[in-house]
Amino acid sequence: MLQHLPLSTILLLPAALAAVLSKPEPLPLVIWHGLGDNYDADGLKSVGDLAKDVNPGTYVYNIRLDEDPGTDQRYTFFGNLTDQIAQVCSDLSSHPILSTAPAINALGFSQGGQFLRGYIERCNAPPVSSLVTFGSQHLGISKYQHCDDGDWLCRGWQALLNGNTWSGYAQSHLVPAQYFRSTDDATGEATDEYLENSNFLADVNNERESKNETYAKNIASLDRFVMYLFEDDTTVIPKESGWFAYTNSSSGEVTPLRNLTIYKEDWIGLKKLDEKGGLVFKKTEGGHMTLGDKVLTEVFETYFAPPKSVWEGVKDTIQEIIEL
Ligand SMILES: *[C@@H]1O[C@H](CO)[C@@H](O)[C@H](O)[C@H]1NC(C)=O
Ligand SMILES: *[C@@H]1O[C@H](CO)[C@@H](O)[C@H](O)[C@H]1NC(C)=O
Ligand SMILES: *[C@@H]1O[C@H](CO)[C@@H](O)[C@H](O)[C@H]1NC(C)=O
Ligand SMILES: *[C@@H]1O[C@H](CO)[C@@H](O)[C@H](O)[C@H]1NC(C)=O
């Protein structure tokens, strides 16, 4: 039969066959670490190694604000988030590998999760396909975390904060202050001082009168936004912020995201994303950032795996037919 085919087709066959059989490449993965951590830490390296084990060929980039790990760590406490996110936008869009990828996946640990959301809303170049966050503070914090005795960076910034979250100094220099969110327990509404002064969260959550439509468009353009909540998180107050939920701090009553105005009026595109099945709420055991290989493997297999090759798709279909 081959002799009836033109020579050019025969020459193309191996390439075509290879295209059918080959597994598509996984998208690059960017990881943004949490407060007090740094991009070069061993824990983060093992997360990257696991990502490559599960999806061979994954290019992993740990987001950093400085090449010096100690300085990078300091910037998790100190700095202006507007500038920090702009710097990450510029780093990713000029990165030789990331900037040429059709899209990237993003994994955010704790505060790194809402900062990646900021990247998506404000820049998204290269665009994110799936965003997965662990124990993040999407609807802010209502209390600052407790600092351990020997944690001088943590104690240092809390001393500088001096209880004054809404000062210009705190909002331009102290990172966690920029995602602090104060609410009126009686009404459940955000306070005026938050709306007026919050340098980061009130803006990326489009809580002010004038909304940025790009923010909503970019979130709605995601394939998936997966939020993991730690069941026994006592570091993030309230922990339900990891699911974008509101907690009444007097009664402890939790209002889920889908009942909040930010969702109902779709200020940032979460409703649109939800309607196409892209918004996922997941729970995992343990306290803040108790991450095991099991849950990370689940994330890499479920959300960051490349699409199946044509041949694998055909095999699955044949399998399903046989099972019928
Ligand atoms: C909305 O956000 C985009 C992306 O950051 C920015 O370019 C634009 O200027 C913003 N628009 C307004 C009205 O602030
Ligand atoms: C943070 O940086 C941005 C951009 O440089 C600047 O416009 C803004 O005023 C700063 N924020 C505060 C609260 O100082
Ligand atoms: C929050 O809880 C307090 C105390 O139970 C209650 O009085 C208040 O109405 C609640 N706020 C909202 C918005 O439900
Ligand atoms: C959320 O909204 C649903 C449907 O509108 C309602 O049945 C439910 O009671 C609400 N839950 C809370 C906690 O507000």
In the predicted model, what is the mean pLDDT of the chain? 92
> Which structure tokens are listed for 137?
């503070």
How far is ligand 2, taken at its centre, from the CA of residue 172, in Å?
6
Contacting residues for 177 by C-beta, under 8 A, at least 6 apart? 161, 165, 170, 171
By the 8 A CB rule, do 235 and 287 touch?
yes
Strand partners, 229: 283
How much is the pTM?
A: 0.90
**Ligand 3, atom 10: nearest CA belongs to which residue?**
186
Looking at residue 19, what is its pLDDT? 64
Q: Ligand 1 in contact with 138 (CB < 6 A)? A: no
The reported pLDDT for the residue numbered 15 is 67
Give residue 12's pLDDT band: very low, low, confident or very high (50, 70, 90).
low
Give the residue with greater pLDDT, 80 vs 160: 80
Q: Please give the pLDDT value at position 20.
A: 64
> Which positions ≥6 away from 62 have C-beta within 8 Å?
30, 31, 33, 39, 40, 44, 48
Q: What was the pLDDT predicted at 110?
A: 97
Q: Is 4 a catalytic residue?
A: no
Judged by average pLDDT, the poorest of 75-79, 84-88, 111-115, 150-154 is 150-154
The best mutation among 248, 249, 260 to test binding of ligand 3, ranked by most ligand atoms within 8 Å of the C-beta, falls on 248
Check whether 8 has a pLDDT greater than 70. no
Least confident of 9-13, 78-82, 124-128: 9-13
Catalytic residue among 37, 110, 203, 241: 110
Q: What integer is the mean pLDDT of 132-160?
A: 92
Dist. CA 168–CA 154, nearest whole Å: 20
Residue 81: its pLDDT value, please?
Answer: 98
Reply yes or no on whether the pLDDT at 88 is more than 90.
Answer: yes
pLDDT tens, position by position, 15-69: 666 666 677 899 999 999 999 999 999 999 999 999 999 999 999 999 999 999 9
Mean pLDDT computed over 191-214: 98
Count of residues making up the chain: 324
312 Cβ contact partners less than 8 Å away, ≥ 6 residues apart: 23
Residue 233 known to be catalytic: yes
Dihedral class, residue 122 (left if φ above 0, else alpha if ψ from -120 to 50, else beta): alpha
**Domains recognised in the chain with CATH numbers:** 28-140+212-322 (3.40.50.1820)
Whether residue 10 has pLDDT greater than 80? no
> CA 158: distance to chain centroid?
25
Contact 129, 27 (CB under 8 A): yes
Report the pLDDT averaged over residues 95-104.
97
Segment 241-258, tens digit of pLDDT: 999 999 998 899 999 999
Q: How far apart are CA 245 and CA 203, in angstroms?
A: 17
User: What's the pLDDT at 314?
Assistant: 77
Confidence tier at 6 by pLDDT (50, 70, 90): low
Q: Verify whether ligand 3 is closer than 6 Å to residue 250 (CB atom).
A: yes
